[in-house]
Structure 1
Amino acid sequence: MGQQKIKAAGEYANVPIEQVYQQFKTSAAGLSHQEAAKRLTTYGQNAIQRSQRQSQFKLFIKNFTSLMAILLWVSGIIALFAGMLELAIAIWAVNLINGIFSFWQEHAAQKATDSLRQMLPAYTQVLRDGQQQRLDAVDLVPGDIFTIQAGNSVCADARLISATGLQVDESALTGESVPESKTVAYRPGDGKFAETNIVYAGTMAASGNAQAIALNTGMTTEFGQIAQLTQNQRDNVSPLQKELNHLTQQISLLAILIGVLFFLLAIFFVHYPIAKSFIFALGMIVAFIPEGLLPTVTLSLAQGVQRMAKKHALVKELSSVETLGETTVICSDKTGTLTQNQMTVNHIWLPSGEYKVTGQGYVNNGQINIGQQAYTFGQLHDLDLLSQISVLNNNTTVKAPENSGQQAKILGTPTEAALIILAEKAQLDRPALQAKLPRQQEFPFDSERKRMTTIQTVDQQPVAYVKGALDGLLAISTTILDNGQVRPLTDQDRQQILAADKRYAAAGLRSLAMAYRQLQPQTTWVQADVEQQLTFVGLTIMADPPRPEIYAAVAKCHAANIRIIMVTGDSALTAKSIACKIGITSDQARVVTGDELTNMTDADLKAALSDELIFARVAPEQKYRVVTMLQSIGEIVASTGDGVNDAPALKKADIGVAMGMTGTDVAKDAADMILTDDNFASIVAAIEEGRTVYSNIQKFLLYILNSNLPEAAPSVVFLFSRGLVPLPLTVMQILTVDLGTDMLPALGLGAEKSEPGIMAQPPRSHNAHLLNRRILLKAFGWYGLIAAILSTIGYFLTNRVNGWTMANLATGGFDYRQATTMTLATIIFCQIAAALNCRTQRSSVFRIGIFSNRKIIGGIIFEVLLLLALMYLPELQIIFNTAPLRGGEWLYLLAIPIPLLLIEEARKYWLRRRSTH
């Protein structure tokens, strides 16, 4: 039975626990086994249901039903009815090979993983009939009492019954990098998911332990609701898919109109029989339909996917490669995307001075200070005492990575991990300190006190080491340690400390205060008695630092007129500080919080999006709204993220980009692209690759289309001679160019490297088309026109040399196969020059290296070998109506490419000169 919807977990936060027990008909002893079994039937398993996916068969068929594919199927059928079986088979074979290749590429990249299930823990400790037992998490039901321990994932939305030092990492839901303290007492907190006595499925306990009552399970959890929002999103048609459909419509209409025109001219002008006129018109349609376009686009995109994989970007859909090149806005998460998601101490503030933390130790005025392994206060510098407090008042463990490519594993909180690493930089031996200064008692951190206290034995005397938020800790301090001397804490000292803290906060940094107190020996201590009359030691200043490579990546985006908008669940102050620091925005940028966004109308949001903007403390549906609004004003949006909260926006965006290392599997499932190195710079490299792919598609589109005119010219000659001049090119020979000799050089153009300055150009207009006026003029009015003239000359010269006259043609005693072969060969040799000329738009091909693209050179060699096979193999001569050429014809062919290359180089030189004046 499907799950029954109950109230959101947050609605139970301010309800007395006894009423919660009553509403869920449970108690502190938990449910009975019998009642739990009934509820499992009523509410269903505690699992995330996946949206129904398309069958593999439907995914397979999808690759054969695009407009271009349908056009090729129809072309094959027409050829079949015209009695041209070989032509029909060839066209259908191209369609089959292309469809199979596309399916294989996407299937290999898109391995569907049950990610949401993997994020939930496999087992949990539950009370049933008053007895604690280990239970599969999928069998947890509302009303169950279960246990949470440090390191456990939370398996349901739940209300806390008891908690000791519980801190929960909610970054997968909120984007906030610092764990939240959770207590039984209710406080609303700041933002969604911030209730202090509610924990949510999919989050993780960083420290402490607790007991809780399950409120919502499975799809009724907040986690499940986000998943449902993601699953309900339809897949968008990519800009490239739209453009290819538009291009197919253009080409189809052009080919059909030309075919109809030549069909009518053949009947009424040449007086051809209807059947022959139909075959003649079919030849014209075949000549103008670029049968090789679809496989060439597919293979070019596949090459782009492979190149991106080498740059740490895995693309799941081939068409997404090109969409990246059209991106105008990147909606970027902060934590783990722009920053390293690793809290790092970068400064230490002491009454005696400020220290910068480096990999070598603590630096003050150029002097490097290394920590001391001293165990008596009189032997310790203030700095070393602060370091000892950092590692001894600490419950986190940092495990070194097993392999060089892995990150260190943190068992605990990122803040405490930062303090451990701080001490390691000072070369303090933590195990030795723990052995020499053993812990006697602990008062765990809680959100009310905002501090943690441990009592250590130091020089055989008990000493309380305290760390916590500055405001609370400063209030209970009466003395201060200054250059090894303890003196009274004055108002001037307090103002100095608070001023330093404010200065760090303005830079988006967090402070953690350290203090101590020497105690009288006894067996146990009371918290209230210990946490008073402290001696203030200093501040550790920490932050989640930006990625080192982010600065250059952001600058590259700005140069390319790509806008970056930070959309994060972190605080407004931290978000703006990071955004300004790495150059995303200026100090004048407006920060819109989630609460403000809720009250904004669509019109207000649209107006706000026209200026510099940062979104902070936003909820999942709000991220989704921002992406939707940007799309509504014509932007092509790439949305990045790593948490569950990012998934709806990732799915909605034109390009969803998930982090591969720190990203949740939910985000990876929703995304179109996954960064294996979590590096924002990889997004910029992928955008550059996307622009290059689009440019290359235009290059081989130009290359493929320029052969259309010389393919059609022979039919025009035939038409205007009223049928007296035999067709200089057969339909099978036309297909030889489209599917044989053109293919490999076109694929080589698809592998062409970026032209200089491609990322200094703005994103192309959303209304721009692959097939534009410039390409048409160059294809038909320049490259194509020259090839048509040369091939027609070649045809008549060969016929003339062979003794062609109107008389022997009329009697049927003339074999003109050598002339048709010459026409075909001339087109191929013109294409050799075109392949080299199409490599650049304005740059000289000699500057980039005429032999630098080995795939094009290989393609040229292949088309020459194919031409030789068609001319000299008897079996192919019969099928393609060809014959061997003689020495004079070969001299004519060999003289074609170099002049055409030099003429185009002169034109490009003129364009470059004109653009500089």
Structure 2
Amino acid sequence: MANREKQVDEVYQYDPQTALTMVGSQLRGLSSEEVLHRQEVYGPNQLDKPAGEPLWLTFLKNFSSLMAILLWIGGFVAFFFTDTPELGIAIWAVNVINGCFSFIQEYRAGKATKALEGMLPLYARVIRDGHEEKILAEQLVPGDIVLIEEGDQISADGRILETANFQVNQSALTGESNPVNKNERAIEASAEQPDLLAMKNMVFAGTSVSKGNAKILVTKIGMSTEFGQIAHLTQDVTQTVSPLQVELNRATKQISIIAISIGLFFLLAAVVFIHEPISKSFVFSLGMIVAFIPEGLLPTVTLSLAMAVQKMAKKNALVKKLASVETLGETTVICSDKTGTLTKNEMTVNHIWMPHQEFVVTGTGYEPVGQILADDRVMDRQSDESLTWLLKGAVLCNNASIQPPHGDQTRYTVLGDPTEACLKVLAQKAGLYLDTIHVEAPRVKELTFDSDRKRMTTIHELKSDFLGSHMVSFTKGAPKEIVDLSSQIYDQGQLKPLTKEMAEQILAANDAYAQDGLRVLALAARDLNNLTGDYSIQSVETDLIFMGLLVMQDPPRDDMEAAVAKCHQAHIRIIMITGDYGLTALSIARKIGIVQGDNPRLVTGQELSQLSDEQLQAILREEVVFARIAPEQKYHIVSNLQKLGHIVAVTGDGVNDAPALKKADIGIAMGIAGTDVAKSSADMILTDDNFASIVHAIEEGRAVYQNIKKFLTYIFNSNTSEAVPSAFFLFSRGIIPLPLTVMQILSIDLGTDMMPALGLGIENTNPDIMQQAPRKRTDKLIDKPLLIKSFIWYGLMESTIAMAAFFYVGFLNGTGFTITPDIYHQAMTMTLGAIIFCQIGMVHNCRTERSSVLNKHFFDNGYINFGIVFEIILFLCLVYVPFFHPLFQTAPLGWQHWIYLILCPIPVLLIEEGRKYWLRQHNKA
């Protein structure tokens, strides 16, 4: 059995009967006993399911961070060992909120393996014991004989035994949209490592039949198939933590350590200097810890990212993983495929070359619009019989069909080869009626395309006169082959000999188009009236009449040049990685501006397989386009870009793209053309399959990063004002009562601060944001300037106003700096209120870095305005609703108190405006 498995990889080299013998099968199929034996040996024809981490364990991990453990312990002590159980409940509530939001942030809905399984068909037609039967696809074994026909999906890898006009769509594995012609002929062995996907006598699981039917011998099933190997690559990819998650985890740990250190210091100081009981001192130190830990950080970040996701969805980019939004803003390289992303995925004829005349075709896409132009004037088609019959021949020698939109569809769809479809579109653009052409020239026979011949021929019985004949063949294929088989040309309605000079002229035109990355087909005809007997390849495809060249391309999207220019302006590289031809890829890359140098590097998959990592990394530092790339090679390119320190975004639509999509920092799948596997493996899905939508998403990602820094500054600046009152209590040795309780601190961090911070998270994008380089991975989200501005500059400003509010109550009551028990709760309420009202000014300060906030419209951010109203209403509830008084130790305020609070934002705004003005003047100097 082991020797048989080794031989299976070589079955393409042998004729069908030998292949059957090698796999231990026969045309009448396997016996029932042999099927049972092989099912025991090989197992079911299905993909392995990776043993993922249980969901409950993933959930619980979000409650075991350093900060979470600290708060669990603190809540436990407060609940069981103090007279403030409500504090313990509040602290535990903080932990639950943070843990739940973290879980939502980290949870991935994509399950690539299930999507892979979903692509495999449920049933297969097999021959066993000499009889045809229908079985579940998972019951297939190597050696089974399977019957497949047009429209079927293929359940296993296999060697073709018999075919009839057989084509397979392998785009899910190779990324190439054109159907592949298949046959049963053996392929000579090569010294090089064979590319099985290129084998014309092999079919593969996960692909589908485009045309015809075949009988195949199953050679591999399940994870052993080419499809399964890609699934294995996808499963093996370890999901990396996003840069934002790394930054937040680092910041949380750092702040937690600082908070614990400060808490321990105050715990010891309270016991030693004030001689408070340990339980009461612990609650006091816990207040300091809670003051310095930004409990609302993760919820606010998550909610801000979620709203950014909603904004991006309106721009055709659906983000599955919230943290990916910020990672987009860091992107330094975009690895993009070509077809359907950079281009329209609509093969379009743009030139027609005929002897002594050349036509330029206008109008793009599959819709029958536009005109055929010649020498910048509208061509009178009726007066040029040569052009008319060239177009008719292109329609007749054609198996594709174009379906108009129906139902909710807005796009034309193509059945068959897109290259053939665009020839029919060309005829429609010229005003020809396809149905009429087929009625006037019904097909008699087809000599199917063959990669060795590089051409196909159809034979028709004409009801109109052409070449003085009623039996005519049309042949289309590679120009050189067509020219070699031609002896005449059809020029301006007349037959002329094909001279050597004219042949050279035709091939020169072909070469010129090919160098521009355009695809060229030649069309020829033949009068068959004098041909007797069977219409064979040898008898029909000779002595042809050359009619012209049809030149086509998959045109770039209309907005591609602007999108690519914007990426270059933003210091983002674009690397094309495609399964298409090298010259075509390079031409498109140059046309839309991806490559701009005189000598960009073109690397094929075959060349890439011979490069070391060091050689590849050297190439990746240059302008490069990759063509004819295999799935594992795309993954390899992404890995090496990451080794060079790049943040890599990768686009893809097929099964073959899944490993690279998961490996990338940002995997981007196509929503229209993408397979379920690609969508499940990706972090983001483009609903319009348009590269320009990626650029919009990157711009939004950069804005998110800037806005996160804005609301981090806002959140942190209240931490100092929350801690300073406790310092007054400690260093006065208890003479000044504690101005702010832990419950009041929590009401700020998880109550009044949340909505304005969220408003900062959706500030409008700075106009110059895409003219800056992506931030470096080494740059910190929470850096020294941010900490100095928030904790020291803003923090001390706010602390001064808050403590002044505390003593202001004493002055109003005639007790000066002495706060009596009767007015203590009112003084604490004023301290809380002063911090809240200072934050109203602070939220506007944080909207700009250097420019004056007065240049912004104060009311153009509805979320900030709503947040300010929300925090005022919440504070009013704490002040005037009796239910909250014992919980938060608040008390009602008088009109003198409210005058102070309403004035609090004014000095906060004016002092900061002075600093920003100084910075602007300093920069000018």
Of 858, 871, 884 in structure 1, the residue corresponding to residue 879 of structure 2 is 871
Shift of 1:775: 0.9
Mapped contact 1:124–1:134 kept (Cα < 8 A)? yes
Of 431, 437, 443 in structure 1, the residue corresponding to residue 441 of structure 2 is 437
Q: Does 1:506 align with 2:515?
A: yes
Mapped contact 2:110–2:681 kept (Cα < 8 A)? no
The one-character-per-residue Cα deviations of 1:516-575 (angstroms, maximum 9, x if unpaired) are: 011116574232111111110111111222222222221121111111122222222222
Shift of 1:10: 5.0
For residues 246 and 355 of structure 2, what CA distance do their matches in structure 1 show?
65
Of 557, 561, 575 in structure 1, the residue corresponding to residue 567 of structure 2 is 557
Pairing of 1:13-92 with structure 2 (within 5 A)? 13-81=12-80, 83=82, 84-92=84-92
Shift of 1:7: 4.2
Q: Structure 2 vs 1, CA of residues 663 and 469 (structure 1 numbering), >3 Å: closer, same or farther?
A: same
One-letter amino acid of the structure 1 residue matched with residue 886 of structure 2: I
The match for 1:580 is: 590
Of 199, 203, 227 in structure 2, the residue corresponding to residue 223 of structure 1 is 227
Shift of 1:71: 4.5
Shift of 1:914: 4.1
The match for 2:185 is: 185
Shift of 1:368: 2.8
Task: Give secondary structure in 2 for the equivalent of 1:657.
Answer: strand
The match for 2:794 is: 783
Q: TM-score, normalised by structure 1?
A: 0.94
Q: Does 1:900 align with 2:908?
A: yes
The one-character-per-residue Cα deviations of 1:436-494 (angstroms, maximum 9, x if unpaired) are: 21112221111121111111122271111111111111111000111111100111111
The match for 1:311 is: 315
Q: Does 1:628 align with 2:632?
A: no
Shift of 1:111: 6.9
Shift of 1:230: 0.7
For residues 8 and 886 of structure 1, what CA distance do their matches in structure 2 show?
92
Q: Does 1:172 align with 2:183?
A: no
The one-character-per-residue Cα deviations of 1:321-345 (angstroms, maximum 9, x if unpaired) are: 2221221112222223222333221
Mapped contact 1:120–1:155 kept (Cα < 8 A)? yes
For residues 201 and 111 of structure 1, what CA distance do their matches in structure 2 show?
20
Q: Structure 2 vs 1, CA of residues 55 and 400 (structure 1 numbering), >3 Å: closer, same or farther?
A: farther
Task: Give secondary structure in 2 for the equivalent of 1:638.
Answer: strand
The match for 1:269 is: 273
Shift of 1:830: 0.5
Shift of 1:508: 0.9
Q: Does 1:383 align with 2:387?
A: yes
For residues 218 and 666 of structure 1, what CA distance do their matches in structure 2 show?
16
The match for 2:815 is: 804
Mapped contact 1:330–1:565 kept (Cα < 8 A)? yes
Unpaired runs of at least 5, structure 2: 364-369
One-letter amino acid of the structure 1 residue matched with residue 750 of structure 2: L
Task: Give secondary structure in 1 for the equivalent of 2:181.
Answer: strand
Of 818, 833, 839 in structure 2, the residue corresponding to residue 825 of structure 1 is 833
Deviates more, 1:351-360 or 1:768-777: 351-360
Shift of 1:82: 5.1
Of 491, 500, 503 in structure 1, the residue corresponding to residue 500 of structure 2 is 491
Q: Does 1:279 align with 2:283?
A: yes
Q: Does 1:855 align with 2:859?
A: no
Shift of 1:825: 0.9
The match for 2:658 is: 647
Q: TM-score, normalised by structure 2?
A: 0.93
Shift of 1:682: 1.6
For residues 104 and 305 of structure 1, what CA distance do their matches in structure 2 show?
14
Q: Structure 2 vs 1, CA of residues 402 and 478 (structure 1 numbering), >3 Å: closer, same or farther?
A: same
Mapped contact 1:592–1:616 kept (Cα < 8 A)? yes
Q: RMSD between aligned alpha carbons?
A: 2.5
Q: Structure 2 vs 1, CA of residues 106 and 834 (structure 1 numbering), >3 Å: closer, same or farther?
A: same
Aligned-residue identity in percent? 53
One-letter amino acid of the structure 2 residue matched with residue 256 of structure 1: I
Q: Structure 2 vs 1, CA of residues 152 and 857 (structure 1 numbering), >3 Å: closer, same or farther?
A: same
The match for 2:431 is: 427
For residues 418 and 30 of structure 1, what CA distance do their matches in structure 2 show?
42
Shift of 1:842: 2.9
For residues 695 and 436 of structure 1, what CA distance do their matches in structure 2 show?
66
Of 615, 618, 622 in structure 2, the residue corresponding to residue 604 of structure 1 is 615
Deviates more, 1:514-523 or 1:829-838: 514-523
Mapped contact 1:151–1:411 kept (Cα < 8 A)? no
One-letter amino acid of the structure 1 residue matched with residue 173 of structure 2: L
For residues 461 and 542 of structure 2, what CA distance do their matches in structure 1 show?
19
Mapped contact 1:370–1:427 kept (Cα < 8 A)? no
One-letter amino acid of the structure 2 residue matched with residue 247 of structure 1: A
Shift of 1:139: 2.7
Of 700, 711, 716 in structure 2, the residue corresponding to residue 705 of structure 1 is 716
Q: Structure 2 vs 1, CA of residues 549 and 803 (structure 1 numbering), >3 Å: closer, same or farther?
A: same
Mapped contact 2:16–2:184 kept (Cα < 8 A)? no
The match for 1:594 is: 605
Pairing of 1:876-895 with structure 2 (within 5 A)? 876-895=884-903
The match for 1:322 is: 326
For residues 7 and 913 of structure 2, what CA distance do their matches in structure 1 show?
69
For residues 366 and 72 of structure 1, what CA distance do their matches in structure 2 show?
77
Mapped contact 1:192–1:619 kept (Cα < 8 A)? no
One-letter amino acid of the structure 1 residue matched with residue 511 of structure 2: K
Q: Structure 2 vs 1, CA of residues 916 and 23 (structure 1 numbering), >3 Å: closer, same or farther?
A: farther
Shift of 1:896: 2.1
Q: Structure 2 vs 1, CA of residues 401 and 104 (structure 1 numbering), >3 Å: closer, same or farther?
A: farther
Q: Structure 2 vs 1, CA of residues 423 and 130 (structure 1 numbering), >3 Å: closer, same or farther?
A: farther
Mapped contact 2:473–2:526 kept (Cα < 8 A)? yes
One-letter amino acid of the structure 1 residue matched with residue 11 of structure 2: Y
Task: Give secondary structure in 1 for the equivalent of 2:757.
Answer: helix
Q: Structure 2 vs 1, CA of residues 320 and 850 (structure 1 numbering), >3 Å: closer, same or farther?
A: same
Q: Structure 2 vs 1, CA of residues 457 and 127 (structure 1 numbering), >3 Å: closer, same or farther?
A: same
Deviates more, 1:379-388 or 1:828-837: 379-388
For residues 859 and 77 of structure 2, what CA distance do their matches in structure 1 show?
41
For residues 526 and 279 of structure 1, what CA distance do their matches in structure 2 show?
96
Pairing of 1:277-426 with structure 2 (within 5 A)? 277-359=281-363, 360-369=370-379, 381-426=385-430
One-letter amino acid of the structure 1 residue matched with residue 670 of structure 2: M
Deviates more, 1:285-294 or 1:335-344: 335-344
Mapped contact 1:177–1:570 kept (Cα < 8 A)? no
Shift of 1:112: 6.9
Pairing of 1:535-550 with structure 2 (within 5 A)? 535-550=545-560
Q: Structure 2 vs 1, CA of residues 68 and 543 (structure 1 numbering), >3 Å: closer, same or farther?
A: farther
Task: Give secondary structure in 2 for the equivalent of 1:261.
Answer: helix
Mapped contact 2:578–2:626 kept (Cα < 8 A)? yes
Q: Structure 2 vs 1, CA of residues 71 and 260 (structure 1 numbering), >3 Å: closer, same or farther?
A: closer
The one-character-per-residue Cα deviations of 1:500-523 (angstroms, maximum 9, x if unpaired) are: 111111111111110101111657
Task: Give secondary structure in 1 for the equivalent of 2:217.
Answer: strand
The match for 2:151 is: 151
For residues 5 and 881 of structure 1, what CA distance do their matches in structure 2 show?
82
Mapped contact 2:329–2:702 kept (Cα < 8 A)? yes
The match for 1:376 is: none
Q: Does 1:674 align with 2:685?
A: yes
Q: Does 1:131 align with 2:131?
A: yes
Mapped contact 1:462–1:518 kept (Cα < 8 A)? yes
The match for 2:366 is: none
One-letter amino acid of the structure 2 residue matched with residue 231 of structure 1: Q
Shift of 1:8: 8.4
The one-character-per-residue Cα deviations of 1:832-872 (angstroms, maximum 9, x if unpaired) are: 01111112223433434211111111110111111111111
Q: Structure 2 vs 1, CA of residues 63 and 338 (structure 1 numbering), >3 Å: closer, same or farther?
A: farther
For residues 693 and 41 of structure 2, what CA distance do their matches in structure 1 show?
47
Q: Structure 2 vs 1, CA of residues 911 and 539 (structure 1 numbering), >3 Å: closer, same or farther?
A: farther
For residues 789 and 887 of structure 1, what CA distance do their matches in structure 2 show?
22
Deviates more, 1:63-72 or 1:309-318: 63-72
Corresponding pairs, count: 907
Task: Give secondary structure in 1 for the equivalent of 2:345.
Answer: coil
